[in-house]
C-alpha cells in the first residue's frame, strides 16, 4: 500500500492507495465506527457497480451501514440535494465527532464534503473516490462545493476529509471517456513542475488508459503526492502556489461555459484543451517553445483528449470566450490571472495578461 500524508497540522490525514482496497475497507474504517450505522452517500452508478464491494467488506467486520443513493451527474451538486442530504444526516443523528462516507466521483465528494462542513457546524467525512479525476484531484485538498444559478462551485467551504481511501480497481467499471478526462489532471501535474513525470506520462499514458494496473497505481500515487505537497503549502489558495493546480482551467472554463457545462465536454476534457491553449498562448507571448507546446498537444491527442477549439466544436469568437472567463471565480480585483508556461514543467501565474490579447489569440485559431 502507498500512504501519502497530507500535512496540515491538526487537519492532517492520510491518503491510502492500493488495488483491491475497497474489499478491505473495513480494516481502515473500523476505528471510525460509532453506535450509529455508517452513513454512506453515493450515486446510482456507483451504487450498482462499487457499493456491493464496500458493503460486503463492512458487513464482514460486523459494521452496520445505511446507504443514500443520489442521482448521477453534475446537477446533484445543488441546493436541493444539499438540503435533502443534510436533513438525512440530521435525522440519522450525526454528531460532530461522527464520520460520513463519500463513495463516488467528484460530484459526490464535493457535495458530501460541503454537507459535512455545515451539519452541526461541521462533522467529519471520509473520501472513497471512484473516478480517476476524484482519485488524483478532487478527493484531496478539502475543496467542497455545490453549484449556484450563477455558476459552478460558487457555494462551498474548505473542509478537509479525515481519510482518503483509493482503490484503483474501481476504475475497471468506469467508461474510457471518463478515465481519459481524469487523466488530463494527471498530465497537469507533470506540466506544472515535473518534466520527468510528463515524460513518464508520454511513455505510459496509453497503457494506463488501457487499464494497466501498475501504471494506474503509479500515476495516482504521484499525482496525490504532488497535490498534497501543494495543498500543505497553500491550503486556502492564498499564496498563489495552489493556484498552479488551475493550469488549463481558465481557458477550459470558457469552453465548458460555451458548451453549456454538459456531457458535450467533460470537465477533464475542457482542462486538456485548456492546457493546450495555455501552452499555445505562452508560445504567442514568446515565453515557451513551439516544440514544448507541440509535445503537450501531441500527448493529449494520443490518448484521445481534445486540444483545440475545433476538437471541441467551439466556433464562438474570442471576445465571447473571454466574456465567459470573466465569470470565473478566479477573478480578483477586476483582473484575471492566467496560468501560463515557460516550458513543460515550468508553469507560472501571469498577472499581466491583457484580455483583448487573449481574445485576439483565440480569434486567430482555426474553428
Among 216, 242, 267, 324, binds ligand GLY (CB under 6 A): 242
Does residue 253 bind ligand GLY (CB under 6 A)? no
**92 counts as catalytic:** no
* Nearer of residues 152 and 242 to ligand GLY, judged by Cβ: 242
Q: Which residues contact 25 (CB under 8 A, 6 or more apart)?
A: 54, 57, 58, 128, 165
Instruction: Tell me which residues in 4-43 interact with ligand NAD (CB under 6 A).
Output: 43
Among residues 152, 222, 246, 299, the one annotated as catalytic is 246
Q: Compute the distance between CA of residue 93 and CA of residue 116 in angstroms, rounded to an integer.
A: 13
CB 208 within 8 A of CB 216: yes
The C-alpha atoms of residue 307 and residue 276 are separated, in whole angstroms, by 5
Task: Return the number of the residue (164 or 174) whose C-beta is nearest ligand NAD.
Answer: 174
Window 88-127: residues binding ligand NAD (CB under 6 A): 104-108, 110
The least distance separating ligand NAD from the CB of residue 100, rounded to whole angstroms, comes to 16
Of 67, 60, 57, the closest CA to residue 22 belongs to 57
Which CB sits closer to ligand NAD, 161 or 345?
161
Stretch that binds ligand GLY, among 10-18, 71-79, 135-143, 304-312 (CB under 6 A): 135-143
Contact flag: residue 161 with ligand GLY (CB under 6 A)? no
List 45, 81, 124, 227, catalytic entry: 227
Q: Are 210 and 179 in contact (CB under 8 A)?
A: no
Residues 6 or more apart whose Cβ sits within 8 Å of residue 13: 5, 6, 160, 161, 162, 163, 164
Task: Select from 145, 36, 41 the least CA-distant residue to 95.
Answer: 36
CA 253 – CA 248 distance, rounded (Å): 8
Confirm or reject binding of residue 270 to ligand GLY (CB under 6 A).
no
| Residue number, 172 or 346, with CB nearest to ligand NAD | 172
Q: How many CB atoms lie within 10 A of CB 12?
A: 13
End-to-end CA distance of the chain: 47
Q: Reply yes or no on whether 320 is catalytic.
A: no
* β-strand pairing of 338-341 with 347-350: antiparallel
Q: Are 40 and 101 in contact (CB under 8 A)?
A: yes
Residues for the chain: how many in total?
367
| x/- track of binding to ligand NAD for residues 239-278 (CB under 6 A) | ----------------------------x-----------
* Residue of 57, 127, 131, 282 interacting with ligand NAD (CB under 6 A): 131
Residue 156 to residue 314: CA distance in whole angstroms: 30
In the bound complex, what is the minimum distance in angstroms from residue 261's beta carbon to ligand NAD?
9
According to the binding rule CB under 6 A, does residue 49 interact with ligand NAD?
A: yes
In the bound complex, what is the minimum distance in angstroms from residue 233's beta carbon to ligand NAD? 16
Task: Decide if residue 74 touches ligand NAD (CB under 6 A).
Answer: yes
User: For residue 97, which of 28, 168, 36, 22 has the smallest C-alpha distance?
Assistant: 36
- Compute the least distance from the CB of residue 65 to ligand NAD, in Å: 18
Residue 143 binding ligand GLY, by CB under 6 A:
yes
Report which residue's Cβ sits closest to ligand GLY: 245
User: Contact region for ligand NAD (CB under 6 A) — 8-16, 170-178, 250-258, 328-336?
Assistant: 170-178
- Listed residue (127, 146, 51, 39) closest to 91, CA to CA: 39
Interaction partner, residue 46 (ligand GLY, ligand NAD, none; CB < 5-8 Å by kind): ligand NAD
- Give least dist CB 47 to ligand NAD, A: 9
Grid cell at residue 320: 465571447
What is the bridge-based pairing of β-strands 38-43 and 124-129?
A: unpaired
52: helix, strand or coil: helix
Catalytic residue list contains 287: no
User: Would you name the residues annotated as active-site residues?
Assistant: 121, 143, 185, 227, 237, 242, 246, 249, 253, 267
| List of residues contacting ligand NAD (CB under 6 A) | 43, 45-46, 49-50, 72-74, 77, 104-108, 110, 130-131, 133-134, 137-138, 141, 143, 152-153, 170, 173-174, 178, 267
Amino acid at each position: 500500500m502507498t500512504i501519502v500524508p497530507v500535512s496540515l497540522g491538526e487537519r492532517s490525514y492520510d491518503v491510502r492507495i492500493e488495488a483491491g482496497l475497497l474489499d478491505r475497507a473495513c480494516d481502515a474504517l473500523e476505528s471510525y465506527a460509532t453506535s450509529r450505522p455508517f452513513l454512506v452517500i453515493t450515486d446510482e452508478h456507483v451504487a450498482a457497480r462499487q457499493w456491493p464491494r464496500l458493503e460486503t467488506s463492512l458487513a464482514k467486520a460486523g459494521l452496520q451501514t445505511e446507504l443514500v443513493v443520489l442521482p448521477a451527474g453534475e446537477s446533484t451538486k445543488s441546493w436541493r440535494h444539499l438540503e435533502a442530504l443534510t436533513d438525512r444526516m440530521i435525522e440519522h443523528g450525526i454528531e460532530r465527532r461522527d464520520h460520513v462516507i463519500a463513495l463516488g466521483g467528484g460530484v459526490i465528494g464535493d457535495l458530501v464534503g460541503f454537507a459535512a462542513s455545515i451539519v452541526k457546524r461541521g462533522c467529519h467525512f471520509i473520501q472513497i473516490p471512484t473516478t480517476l479525476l476524484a482519485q488524483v484531484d478532487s478527493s484531496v485538498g478539502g475543496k467542497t462545493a455545490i453549484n449556484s444559478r450563477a455558476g459552478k462551485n460558487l457555494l462551498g467551504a474548505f473542509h478537509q476529509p479525515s481519510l482518503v481511501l483509493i482503490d484503483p480497481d474501481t476504475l475497471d467499471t468506469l467508461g474510457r471517456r471518463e478515465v481519459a478526462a481524469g487523466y488530463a489532471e494527471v498530465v497537469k501535474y507533470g506540466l506544472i513542475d515535473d518534466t520527468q513525470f510528463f515524460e513518464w506520462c508520454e511513455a505510459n499514458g496509453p497503457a494506463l488508459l488501457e487499464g494497466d494496473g501498475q501504471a494506474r497505481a503509479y500515476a495516482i500515487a504521484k499525482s496525490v503526492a504532488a497535490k498534497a505537497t501543494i495543498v500543505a503549502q497553500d491550503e486556502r489558495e492564498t499564496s498563489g502556489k495552489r493556484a498552479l493546480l488551475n493550469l488549463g482551467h481558465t481557458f477550459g472554463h470558457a469552453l465548458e461555459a460555451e458548451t453549456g457545462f454538459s456531457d458535450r465536454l467533460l470537465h477533464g476534457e475542457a482542462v486538456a484543451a485548456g492546457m493546450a491553449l495555455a501552452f499555445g498562448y505562452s508560445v504567442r507571448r514568446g515565453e515557451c517553445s513551439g516544440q514544448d507546446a507541440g509535445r503537450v498537444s501531441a500527448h493529449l491527442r494520443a490518448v484521445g483528449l481534445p486540444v483545440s477549439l475545433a476538437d471541441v466544436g467551439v466556433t464562438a469568437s474570442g471576445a465571447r470566450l473571454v466574456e465567459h472567463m470573466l465569470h470565473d471565480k478566479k477573478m480578483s480585483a477586476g483582473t484575471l490571472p492566467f496560468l501560463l508556461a515557460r516550458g513543460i514543467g515550468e508553469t507560472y501565474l501571469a498577472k499581466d495578461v491583457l484580455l483583448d490579447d487573449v481574445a485576439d489569440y483565440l480569434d486567430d485559431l482555426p474553428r
